[in-house]
Amino acid sequence: MEEELLLYEEKMEKTVNVLKSDFVTIRAGRANPHVLDKIKVDYYGVPTPIQQVGNLSVPEPRILMIQPWDKSLIKPIEKAILTSELGINPNNDGSVIRLIFPEMTEDRRKELSKEVKKKGDNAKVAIRNIRRDANEAFKKMNKNGDITEDELDEAEEDIQKLTDKYIAMIDKEVEKKSADILTV
């Protein structure tokens, strides 16, 4: 039964990690290379992450610079950025691409804060679904005679404690990211 609990705890941990990686891609005022994490470039017919086709740097707080290792990739990189949800027009001088992040307006901050809250809510739903799956598995084990009623009650109590722990972690991450967006 301990192995089962560990399995479900791992799933909850992965959910929180996915949320954290999603939050990294949300821009909070300054240029951050992680906003490009989910953007893929067509590199000779293969969708490739931008980080693997060039050098990313932040020369100024609101400028992100992409220097492709192969100059022929400038157009595909620009196309990938334009078709992404980033909402920034790339500028290129023939050898590097610059992304200039505008100052965030109050409306944009509120919009991003709502997006953060929505992602947090989705993560909480995922955690609750894991709890449901765990409870169903434990009930099935009880029905098959693998565990007793007392063990079932203990397992349900343990999975609820894990659920509460991870929901609290999600709330903390959402609060931290929202504060980051609203204060920049």
Please name the helix (run of DSSP H) or strand (run of DSSP E) that holds residue 72, with its range, or none. none
Amino acid 137: pLDDT: 93
Residue type, 180: D
Rounded to 5°, angle at Cα 109 from 106 and 111: 110
Amino acid 139: pLDDT: 93
Question: Over the Cα atoms of the chain, what is R_g?
Answer: 22
Low-confidence ranges of the chain (pLDDT < 50): none
Amino acid 6: pLDDT: 92
Fold (topology level) of 33-100: Gyrase A; domain 2 (3.30.1360)
Amino acid 135: pLDDT: 94
Tokens 């590199």 belong to which residue? Answer: 43
Amino acid 32: pLDDT: 76
Per-domain residue ranges of the chain: 2-24+105-183, 33-100
Tokens 């504060």 belong to which residue? Answer: 179
Of 54, 36, 53, 56, give the one whose Cα is nearest residue 44: 53
For domain 2-24+105-183, give the CATH number: 1.10.132.20
Amino acid 29: pLDDT: 63
Amino acid 28: pLDDT: 63
Annotate 81-118 with b (16+ C-beta within 10 A) or e (fewer). Answer: beeeebebebeeeeebbbbebeebeeeebeebbebbee
